[in-house]
Amino acid sequence: MRTLTPRRIQETLFTAPSFLWLLVLFLVPTLMVVSMSFRTADPYGGIGDSFSLEGFKDIFSPSFPGILFRTVNLSFQTTLWCLALGLPVAYFIARAEKKHQAHLMLLIIIPFWTNFLIRVYAWKIILHPEGMLKDMLVALRLVSEDTSLLYNQGAVLLVLVYTYLPFAVLPLYAAIEKFDFTLIEASRDLGAGPLRSFFRVFLPGISQGIVSAVMVVFIPALGSYVIPDMVGGTDGEMLGNKIAQRVFVDRNLPRGSALSTLLVLAVVLPVIGGLVVKKIRSNGRAFADVPSIGEHGL
Amino acid sequence: MFEGIRKTFGSHTAVDDVSLSVERGEVFSLLGPSGCGKTTLLRLCAGFETPDKGRVILNGEDISSLPPNKRKVNTVFQNYALFPHMSVYDNIAFGLKVAGKNSTDIKLEVDAMLDLIQMKDHAHKKPSQISGGQKQRVAIARALVNKPQVLLLDEPLAALDLKLRQRMLIELDQIHDEVGITFLFVTHDQGEAISLSDRIAVMNEGKIEQIGTPAQVYESPVSSFTAAFIGDTNFFDGQVREAVPPNYSRIAIDGLPDALCYNDSPRRPGDMVHLSVRPEKIRLRRMPFESHDYENTMRGTVENLVYLGSSTRYWVRVGEWLVTALLQHRHFILDEAPPTWGDEVWLAWHADDGFMLQRYALTDEKLLMMPEDGDMLGEDLSPDQKTGGEDALSSGSGE
């Protein structure tokens, strides 16, 4: 049991508002959504009083596995692209002269000055069947007249990557900026080529940044709604759209809640799993230490 | 080993036309103040830099254009550069794994290294869990396990505290005796260089001032820079008055009696020279010296002194000059009454104990400014510590 030192009290006072905020505006609503998914729907868009698993019947609809797979797949691909594109950018900025780094970071942040919806609309214009990009590609004979750049999964992936790339660059930049590059020299010195140094020393060295980048891209991508709604056709539909459809079109809150609950679980379970594995591993290591201590009679 | 090497960064010439060769199995030090180009020379050898001009030759083979991973040299980095995500064992095994050795061989060799550096108990620890001295030993083992032809050490002891530095110095020496690999050692600490090296190259502003054994460099420096950088010395500006057979010169110094000094190189009357005399070569006592014992004697007043345990350093005012002398305590000092502040004392040194250097007007100014960060194995106090030492002394000595 920790004693209440003045320092502890101070810490508690300072962190209390944000904990309160998260509790009231985040945890409680999430639990409300979860509980709602186990209720019956009433015909007027409200929720009934009795317990029911009716809300989860979407899971067994024939279209559900496809949408779930598409959601995970698109989020996964978005994450990969953001890492692949974000790493070189973050590396370039982190290795630039100190005085230029702030300017380069500003360039990454500038898109946020424009409203997100407007930027997605801009993509609609760029990718429009009669838009400039299409005309150009047709003129260059790269695509045929009747391909559509818009309203398909490709368009969704493109706009997802566009949207989340800056979020990936920020943690990657922070990690690379802190990375000690004499480690690369040490690795080269010990006989490793550039590629091996990259995979064995550089990537593990910035793993914290990679984990953060994956978190801030993959998790929001899973819950995307606006992007697939606006640039995706029927084959670009994601779980977020399904939830919106249940809530706004069908006016069936329990079914929307049930899907939301699934999405929350899909995000939370892997994180908890990861933590458990890490815990077990470090415990395993602690056990492995015991015989070695005995051996040397310490 | 280095042939006419030049390396410039922008407008700054870091290494300027340096040629030197290191013998197999030798401990060779590159010694100089920061920014003298010694680290650049090391990095050229490791392959982290490529020379603008000249060649780096290893065992008769030109390796100037080889990437670092293709060179049979390994480096011990100043900040150790241990891989933080790997255990001590994996750090040491890294080079062997990269070389594609099978795991039983790797285990044998890494275990042998762990024995050598006495770190067997810490093999599974991460670098963040071990101390500075241990990191240092792991960094050395990680490099040595690859059996390089040359081990490059970049200020390997700079980050350690004094006691640890002295112990690691002895350990380094022992490791060198055991493995017999050529060591190329970069340091700004003359004490480290002198105690560890077979030969030293003193560097200044991208050039080599002198190459020689530690004793040669200390006792017979060829330039004022070397004389001042290695150890302490008294400089007297003078002019050769006359030649004294068989091989001495009489030197006129403003405000001092004429001094007699051995000629390292031919001198003619009228030459402008520095007379340099190391503090420990100067005798100091209250009574006059017999002139047939010492060719050079003079009288002065003790202006300052610092008790150093094994010796006491005196600053003696002789006219315009402040002469530094080191009094060794061969006897139990509390029974004696050593000269103290304001005392009249006599100074003396042999004609053979000083040396003459050509005067370079420009370098002198800089030398006098130069901070003495390289203490002789920590026995010396640098001038800026002087006051502190004095206070401690005045409260403790009880006149």
Q: What angle do CA B159, B160, B163 make, to 5 degrees?
A: 155
Domain stops at, among B213, B242, B259: B213
What is the average per-residue pLDDT within B389-393?
Answer: 33
Which of A193, A200, A201 shows the shortest C-beta gap to B69?
Answer: A193
Cα–Cα distance measured from residue B331 to residue A205, given in angstroms and rounded to the nearest whole number: 58
Q: Identify whether B218 is part of a domain.
A: no
Q: Is B217 exposed, middle or buried (0-12, 13-18, 19+ CB in 10 A)?
A: buried
B202 and B287 in a single domain? The answer is no
Least reliable range by pLDDT among A244-248, A278-282, B48-52: A278-282
**First-to-last CA distance in chain B?**
58
Closest by CA position to B397, among listed B301, B305, B284, B303: B305
The Cα of A146 is separated from the nearest Cα of chain B by a number of Å equal to 52
What is the average per-residue pLDDT within A70-99?
Answer: 94
Domain count, chain B: 2
Q: Residue A135 CA to chain centroid, in angstroms?
A: 34
What is the average per-residue pLDDT within B257-264?
Answer: 84
The residue type at B320: E
B261 and B369 in a single domain? The answer is yes
B266 and B304 in a single domain? The answer is yes
Question: What is the predicted pLDDT for the residue at B10?
Answer: 63
Buried b / exposed e along A83-115 (16+ C-beta atoms within 10 A): beebbebbbebbeeeeeeeeebbeebeeeeeee
Instruction: Please give the share of chain A, as a percent, with pLDDT higher than 90.
Output: 45
Cα–Cα distance measured from residue B137 to residue B171, given in angstroms and rounded to the nearest whole number: 9
Q: Identify whether B274 is part of a domain.
A: yes
Strands (DSSP E) found in chain B: 2-9, 12-20, 27-31, 53-58, 61-62, 73-76, 150-154, 182-187, 199-204, 207-212, 234-244, 248-253, 259-262, 272-277, 283-285, 296-307, 311-318, 321-328, 344-349, 354-358
Cα–Cα distance measured from residue B356 to residue B232, given in angstroms and rounded to the nearest whole number: 15
Question: What is the predicted pLDDT for the residue at A78?
Answer: 96
Cα–Cα distance measured from residue A161 to residue A84, given in angstroms and rounded to the nearest whole number: 11
Which of A189, A192, A288 shows the shortest C-beta gap to B74?
Answer: A189
Domains of chain A, earliest start first: 31-60+242-264 (no CATH), 66-232 (1.10.3720.10)
Tens-place pLDDT, residues A102-114: 999 999 989 889 9
**Interface-testing mutation among A97, A188, A190, with chain B (most B C-beta atoms within 10 A):** A190
Q: Identify whether B26 is part of a domain.
A: yes
The residue type at A99: K
CB contacts of A196 in chain B (<8 Å) are: 98
Q: Identify whether B339 is part of a domain.
A: yes
Cα–Cα distance measured from residue B280 to residue B232, given in angstroms and rounded to the nearest whole number: 9
Q: Identify whether B233 is part of a domain.
A: yes
**Contact call for A190 and B85, based on CB within 8 A:** no
Question: What is the predicted pLDDT for the residue at B360?
Answer: 56
B234 and B134 in a single domain? The answer is no
Contacts of A275 (CB under 8 A, 6+ apart): none
B38 and B181 in a single domain? The answer is yes
Containing structural domain, residue B228: 224-397
Q: What angle do CA B131, B137, B141 make, to 5 degrees?
A: 140
B240 and B205 in a single domain? The answer is no
Q: Identify whether B291 is part of a domain.
A: yes
Pick B392 or B67 by higher pLDDT: B67
What is the average per-residue pLDDT within A169-194?
Answer: 93
Q: Which tokens go with A207?
A: 């793993």
β partners of residue B298: B347
**Band of residue A3 on the pLDDT scale cut at 50, 70, 90:** low
Q: Is B320 exposed, middle or buried (0-12, 13-18, 19+ CB in 10 A)?
A: exposed
Q: Which residues of A touch B (CB under 8 A)?
A: 180, 182-183, 185-193, 196, 200-201, 204-205, 207, 285, 288-289, 292, 296, 298
**First-to-last CA distance in chain A?**
30
Strands (DSSP E) found in B329-368: 344-349, 354-358
**Band of residue A296 on the pLDDT scale cut at 50, 70, 90:** very low
B247 and B118 in a single domain? The answer is no
B233 and B104 in a single domain? The answer is no
Question: What is the predicted pLDDT for the residue at A206?
Answer: 94
Pick A282 or A73 by higher pLDDT: A73
B198 and B257 in a single domain? The answer is no
Which of B81, B120, B121 shows the shortest C-beta gap to A186?
Answer: B81
Which of A185, A196, A288 shows the shortest C-beta gap to B98?
Answer: A196
Tens-place pLDDT, residues A16-33: 999 999 999 999 999 999
Average pLDDT over chain B, rounded to an integer: 82
B185 and B153 in a single domain? The answer is yes
Tens-place pLDDT, residues B177-230: 888 889 999 988 888 888 889 999 998 888 888 899 999 888 888 888 888 888
Q: In this structure, what CATH number is given to the domain that contains residue B154?
A: 3.40.50.300
Cα–Cα distance measured from residue B47 to residue B68, given in angstroms and rounded to the nearest whole number: 5
Question: What is the predicted pLDDT for the residue at B89?
Answer: 94
Q: Identify whether B219 is part of a domain.
A: no
Domain stops at, among B213, B248, B267: B213
| Closest residue in chain B to residue A297, using alpha carbons only | B121
Question: What is the predicted pLDDT for the residue at B385?
Answer: 35
Question: What is the predicted pLDDT for the residue at B64?
Answer: 85
**Contact call for A182 and B83, based on CB within 8 A:** no
- Report how far apart, in Å, the C-alpha atoms of B145 and of each of A185, B71, B127, B132 are: 17, 15, 18, 20
Neighbouring C-beta atoms of residue A272, cutoff 10 Å = 10
Least reliable range by pLDDT among A192-206, B109-123, B149-163: B149-163
Cα–Cα distance measured from residue B350 to residue B296, given in angstroms and rounded to the nearest whole number: 6
Domain stops at, among B190, B213, B236: B213
Question: What is the predicted pLDDT for the residue at A55?
Answer: 82
Cα–Cα distance measured from residue B137 to residue A276, given in angstroms and rounded to the nearest whole number: 35
Average pLDDT over chain A, rounded to an integer: 86
Tens-place pLDDT, residues A35-64: 988 988 887 777 878 888 888 888 888 888
B42 and B150 in a single domain? The answer is yes
B257 and B359 in a single domain? The answer is yes
Question: What is the predicted pLDDT for the residue at B1?
Answer: 57
Tens-place pLDDT, residues B75-95: 999 889 999 999 999 999 999
Inter-chain contacts counted by CB atoms under 8 A, chains A and B: 70
Cβ atoms of residues B317 and B309 within 8 Å: no
Tens-place pLDDT, residues B95-146: 999 999 999 999 999 999 998 888 889 999 999 999 888 998 899 999 989 9
Cα–Cα distance measured from residue B20 to residue B42, given in angstroms and rounded to the nearest whole number: 12
What is the average per-residue pLDDT within B289-300?
Answer: 84
B383 to chain A, any CB pair closer than 8 A? The answer is no
Which of A188, A200, A204 shows the shortest C-beta gap to B69?
Answer: A188
Q: In this structure, what CATH number is given to the domain that contains residue B321?
A: 2.40.50.100
Pick B173 or A4 by higher pLDDT: B173
- DSSP character for B398? -
**Band of residue A203 on the pLDDT scale cut at 50, 70, 90:** very high
Cα–Cα distance measured from residue A49 to residue A56, given in angstroms and rounded to the nearest whole number: 17
